[in-house]
Structure 1
C-alpha cells in the first residue's frame, strides 16, 4: 500500500509539472528492418520501446497506445517497434543504443537472447526499463525496474478460479514458443488447479490453425473440461474450437480485447486475467522521464505490478467501453 501511494504521488507531481503535447511516433507493431533515428525530443527526451510483439497482436497495440500517450503528455519522442524473433529484437536494441536515446523500454520473453544487447545499453549509460516478461532477469541485467505482473501468481489465480468452476483437466494453450512467461502461467495454473494440465503449442499468427488444433485435441480427449488461453485472440479461436468440437469445456483467458469482453458477457468465457497492459506502455515512459529529470527510481529493486485482476461477467460492463477505446 505504501508503494502504491508513493507511485501515485510521484506520477501526480510529474503530471502537474507543465507537460506539453508533443507527438509520439506512429509505427506498426511489426519490426522495421532499419529503424530511423527518433525525432529530437528536446528537454523531454527520446525513448525507444522494443517488444517481442508479433504484427497485429491487439494486446501489444494497447501497450503501444499507452507509451505514445505518455510521450504526448510529456512532449517526448517515443518510437515503438516489435519483433517476435529475439535476434531481431536484439538488433533493434542495438540500433536504439547507437541512436543515443534517453531510455529504452524492452519486453524480455527470451531474456538470455537479449542479455548482451541490454548490457550494451547499460554500459552506454542508457537507462532501461523492462516490461511484461523477464522480471526474474531484469535487475541482474541492470534495468532500473520491471513493470508487469507476476505470471506465476496470475497463473495460480486462474487455476483457483477454474478449480472452483469444476475444471479437473485443463488444456493450457501456449502461443509463443520460448516465452518463459507463458510457461509460468501454465505452471501456476497447474499448481493451484489440483488436476491435470496439458500444454498445447500453437502459433498466434495463424488463428485458423489454433482453432483446428484445439478442436482436434478436444475431440480426441473428451476428458478435457477446461481450456486456458494466454492471449485474447487465441481465446476467441479457442471459443470457436469448443463450438466446433461440440465440447462442454469451460474457457478462460489472459488479457482483454473487445471480443473477449463480448464473449464474457455472452457466457462463452468465464473470466479474463487482466494485467492492465496500457500501464506497461505508459508507466515506463513516465519512469524514464522521472529518471532523466530528477534521477528518481521506482520500485525499490522490486517489480512494479500492473496485475493480475480478473474480469468476469459481474464487472465486464465496466471495462467494455475502455476496451473498445483500446486502453484496456
Structure 2
C-alpha cells in the first residue's frame, strides 16, 4: 500500500505543528503529537491487527536466522502484525513451538521443515484449528504433502548441482561436505546435489553445529588425516568461518566454499579466505512468508497458486561480485 505523497504531507504538517506548538498552546501541542503519530504510521496497513508466528529450526548464534527474522519483522511492521519468533534445532522442540503457537490462537504460522515427518502432527493440529501455514527455507520436497499454502526458498538440489559445477571450474578434486544438522533434509540435498555434478570425490562429514569449537576441531582433524582434501564445502556462514581456522590449524592448503552469507563471511571473501558463497536471500524468505500470511488473510491470495514454490535463490557471490551487495550484507538484509 503506497502512500508516499500523503505521508510526506502529514510529516510536513506534523513538523510545522510541532514548531507552532512551541509558541502557542497545549492544544497545538496535542495536535502536533497526533499528526506525528499519523506520520509514523504512514505506510502501515490499515487492516485489523493480527498475530503471526515464525518458527524455525535456527540454532542460537547462527546469524543466518537473524537475517530471516529481520525480513519477517519488516513485513510484520508493514502489515500491522505482531510477530512471535521462536526457533530450536531439535525437531521435537520445534514441534512443541508450533503447538504453542496453535494454543495462542495465532492468525498464521510461517515455519521451516527440516524434518517434515517430525513436524507433521503439529502442522496437522494447526490446520485443524483453521490456522493458515506457509513454509520457508527448509522442506521444499514436502511442503505440498504437509498442506502448506505456499513455500519460499531455494531448490537445494538445483543449488547443489550448480555448486558442484563451480568446484569443477576451480579444478577441485577432493571435497568434504560438512553437515552441521544431521537429519536436516535440506542439508542432505545440498551435499547430494554437489555430488551429482562434482567431477572429483566428495565425502560427507557430520559435525555438531551447536558446538562451534567442536566443528573447528572436527574439520581440522579430517584435514590432518587426508591431505588430498582440497576443498571444504560448508553449509552455513558460521561453519565456513570456523573452517578457515580449521584449515590454518591443520596446515592445509584446502580452499573453502559455502552456502549462505553474513557480514563476516563477506569480509572473508574479500580477503580471499573463502572462494565463494551461495546467497539464497534469507531476508526475502522471512519477508515473503509473513507477507503471504497477511495477503491470504485479507485478500485471499496464495503465493505460487499453491502449486509452485516461490524461489529466492540461488545466486553466487565471489570476490568479483561481493562489493555489489556489500551494503545490503552490512545492513543485515542479504
TM-score by shorter chain over 0.5: yes
- What is aligned with 2:68? 63
In structure 1, how many angstroms separate the alpha carbons of the residues matched to 2:216 and 2:121?
37
Structure 1 length-normalised TM: 0.87
Structure 1 position 302 matched with structure 2 position 329: no
Q: Which has the higher helix share?
A: 2
- What is aligned with 2:142? 137
- What is aligned with 2:244? 239
Residues 98-177 of structure 1: pairs in structure 2 closer than 5 A: 98-177=103-182
Q: Give how far 1:248 is off.
A: 1.3
Map Cα deviations across residues 228-285 of structure 1 (whole Å, 9 max, x no partner): 0001000001011111111111110000011110111011111000100001110011
8 Å CA contact 1:42–1:76 kept in 2: the answer is no
Residues 196-211 of structure 1: pairs in structure 2 closer than 5 A: 196-211=201-216
| Structure 1 segments unaligned to the other structure (5+ residues) | 1-13, 23-40
- Aligned to 2:96, what secondary structure does the other structure show? helix
Q: Give how far 1:325 is off.
A: 1.5
In structure 1, how many angstroms separate the alpha carbons of the residues matched to 2:207 and 2:223?
15
In structure 2, how many angstroms separate the alpha carbons of the residues matched to 1:82 and 1:45?
21
Structure 2 length-normalised TM: 0.86
- What is aligned with 2:261? 256
- What is aligned with 2:188? 183
- What is aligned with 1:227? 232
Change (3 A) 1:145 1:213: same
- What is aligned with 2:327? 321
Comparing 113-122 with 90-99, greater Cα deviation is found at: 90-99
| Structure 2 segments unaligned to the other structure (5+ residues) | 8-37
Following superposition, which runs of at least 4 residues in structure 1 exceed 2 angstroms of deviation? Answer: 14-22
In structure 1, how many angstroms separate the alpha carbons of the residues matched to 2:267 and 2:103?
44
In structure 1, how many angstroms separate the alpha carbons of the residues matched to 2:217 and 2:146?
40
Q: Give how far 1:15 is off.
A: 5.4
Instruction: Say which one has the larger Rg.
Output: 2
In structure 1, how many angstroms separate the alpha carbons of the residues matched to 2:137 and 2:248?
32
**Structure 2 residue corresponding to 1:271, chosen from 269, 276, 284:** 276
8 Å CA contact 1:152–1:185 kept in 2: the answer is yes
In structure 1, how many angstroms separate the alpha carbons of the residues matched to 2:277 and 2:242?
15
8 Å CA contact 1:44–1:289 kept in 2: the answer is no
